[in-house]
Amino acid sequence: MQGQSVLVLRVDSPLGPCLPPPRAAAVVATYKVIPTRGLFGLMIRSIVYFCAASLIGSLAASAQQHAPVRGQKEFAQSCGFCHGEDATGSRAPDLVRSPLVNRDSGGDLIAPVIRNGRPDKGMPGLPLPDNTIQDIVAFLHQRVQEAARSSRVGSDYPLERLLTGNADAGRAYFNGAGKCASCHSPAGDLAGIAKKYAPLNLEERLLAPRGGFVTLTVTTLSGEQISGKVDHLDEFSVSLHDAAGWYRSWPRDQVKVSVHDPLQAHREMLTKYTDADIHNLFAYLETLK
Ligand code: HEC
Ligand code: HEC
């Protein structure tokens, strides 16, 4: 597989049956490994894409199923062989505790890895349809949250495995490039944070903090502006509780909505951190006992 781009398909994956019959002979264990370079590769890929398109009908039928549930099945079929069915790693790394997966937002980091792979390191590019990738992303995010919540990997997860960073570098980043000090203080809201959370939970809080209410400002056609705590927001309707506590709702296409998310800064930082920044910050936060 080294150095060449390949397409690996589980024989029982939804795309398995799409492969032309002579290729069925090219079964490696339960996988089909097919070079995707050159004209032949192009042909295979178009067949697979064509089949993927014809699958959209059946995908739509299962659309009412939960994305993480579909993602779990897809993951087990396309990724489980290498990453373990529960994504905690097998012949390929643990994705539940992967910094890249933890930093992902809506697939922005995971999707390119799935599409392009890292062929030189044993991860093939998998040309899956966008919605399948999104389902897999939803599944991986769910696994990360479950792992952080589960007591099994919570309090007893060995600190040494997380504590590989440099606390001084973390402090410098906190007060400098990371701009953390503009919202937090080690002597104020973050005092004793390392006592408050077990190591793995602290890392999760750093990467995906909770709390901080999302508020909305709705501007109606007549120009009236109403702000309040979000109740519901999707492409069809928006509702909130206004300052006086009243519930108000509107069809989405009749108002303008602006969203104020106190965790917006955190989400944006996820795309900026390097792995070293995260490890250093974590080592620094662990000193706040
Ligand atoms: C043939 C084995 C194989 C398959 C199949 C496979 N992977 Fe991987 N994957 C790997 C290997 C090996 C690595 C580590 C590459 C490296 O060291 O950079 C990896 C790395 C990754 C990473 C990056 C992790 C990190 O922390 O940098 C992600 C995300 C990932 N795989 C997701 C997936 C998903 C999702 C699927 C299924 C759609 C999948 N992989 C299928 C072998 C595989
Ligand atoms: C624009 C403001 C802002 C910036 C900048 C910011 N945060 Fe936060 N952070 C928040 C908010 C809001 C929360 C949600 C919890 C709360 O309300 O305190 C939070 C939560 C956290 C938590 C979890 C706290 C807990 O008790 O659960 C940690 C840890 C944290 N941030 C670390 C950092 C670090 C490290 C940086 C810099 C890399 C940073 N934050 C930058 C606003 C910010």
Q: What is the pLDDT of residues 40-49, one digit of tens each?
A: 444 434 444 3
Check pLDDT > 90 for residue 33. no
Supply 20's token pair. Answer: 């032309």
Residue 158 pLDDT level (bands cut at 50, 70, 90): low
- With a 6 Å cutoff on the Cβ, whether 278 touches ligand 2 is no
Q: From CA 224, how far away is CA 255, in angstroms rounded? A: 10
Query: How close is the Cα of 231 to the center of ligand 1, in Å?
Result: 38
Structure tokens at 49: 């894409």
Residues near 35 by beta carbon (within 8 Å), at least 6 away in sequence: 4, 5, 6, 7, 41
CA–centroid distance, 165 to ligand 2, in Å, is 19
Instruction: State the amino acid at position 262 in one-letter form.
Output: P
Q: Give the CATH class of 215-261.
A: mainly beta
280/33 Cα distance (integer angstroms): 40
pLDDT tens digits for range 162-221: 678 899 999 999 999 999 999 999 999 999 999 888 777 788 788 777 766 778 999 999
What DSSP string describes 92-149? S--STT-HHHHH-STTTTHHHHHHH-BGGGTB------HHHHHHHHHHHHHHHHHHHH
Using the mean position of ligand 2's atoms as its centre, give its distance from the Cα of residue 185 in Å.
Answer: 10
**Dihedrals phi, psi of 27, to nearest 5 degrees:** -90, 125
Closest residue CA from atom 3 of ligand 2:
183
- 229 and 213 Cβ atoms separated by less than 8 Å: yes
Structure pTM? 0.47
pLDDT digits (tens, 9 = 90+) for 63-112: 445 889 999 999 999 999 888 888 988 788 889 888 888 888 889 999 99
CB atoms closer than 10 angstroms to residue 142: 17
Residue whose Cα lies nearest atom 30 of ligand 2: it is 206
H/E stretch holding 280: helix 275-285
The residue with tokens 């709390």 is: 211
User: Sign of the CA dihedral 144, 149, 153, 159?
Assistant: positive
CA distance 40 to 27: 17
Task: Identify the pLDDT of residue 159.
Answer: 64
Beta strand pairing status for 255-260 and 27-28?
Answer: unpaired
How far apart are the C-alpha atoms of 199 and 95, rounded to whole Å?
18
- What amino acid occupies position 101? V
Answer whether 206 contacts ligand 2 (Cβ < 6 A).
Answer: yes
CB 78 within 8 Å of CB 88 = no
Q: What ligand 2 atom has the least distance to the C-alpha of 262?
A: 12
Least confident of 11-15, 146-150, 245-249, 273-277: 11-15
**Distance in angstroms (rounded) separating the CA atoms of residues 90 and 67:** 24
Specify the CATH class of 66-149 in words: mainly alpha
DSSP class of 118: B
> Residue 81 C-alpha to ligand 1 middle, in angstroms?
10
Domain boundaries, the chain: 6-64, 66-149, 159-210+267-285, 215-261
